[in-house]
Amino acid sequence: MQSNAISEAVPIEARPAGRFGKRAKIIAGAVAALVLGGGVAGYALIGGDKGEDVASAAGDAGSDAYVEVPPMIVNLRSSDAQARFLKLRFIIVAADAGKSEKVRQKLPVILDALQPFLRELRPDDLNGSAAVFRVKEEMMSRATNVLGVGVVRDVLIQDLVQQ
């Protein structure tokens, strides 16, 4: 009797040849499309291809054009009663080595221009990589206002620590 039951077994469905099922492939494709779309959207939001990348923007200046700024520690605005601090270390890249001396001479004025902006930041303003980009752009703008157009090529943030 037992041998008869084995011969009457229902055949097993044929499985797909691939490792993953159709549903998993659709989900993986959707996730890949979202990641790719997010990357393209992020690229477009930060300005897209402007003809030069960050490496060439900082690399063309030469090593004498880098002006290291002493670390800054400022209070952050906070809605609660807790004290919050921002420690910031950055380098100002002069347009060329000849202009780096002007940056060094005006460094106290640049720091004075950055203080009000940095002290008005809230802890929520520093969340995410887009926030770091906005802080960097604002610092660049304020340094340019102090030194004039064409003196500062970039601001390179080394450390941005929130406590």
Domain ranges of the chain: 54-162
Average pLDDT for residues 56-67, to the nearest whole number? 64
Note the CATH architecture for domain 54-162: 2-Layer Sandwich (3.30)
Average confidence score pLDDT of the chain: 77
Q: Which residues sit opposite 156 in a β-bridge?
A: 91
Indicate whether 18 pLDDT > 70. no
Entry pTM: 0.59
Round to whole Å and give the CA distance between 97 and 78: 40
pLDDT above 60 (res 17)? no
Q: By three-state DSSP, how is residue 162 classified?
A: strand
- Between 10 and 108, the higher pLDDT residue: 108
pLDDT for res 108: 93
Q: Could you say which DSSP state residue 161 is in?
A: E
Q: Report pLDDT for 154.
A: 92
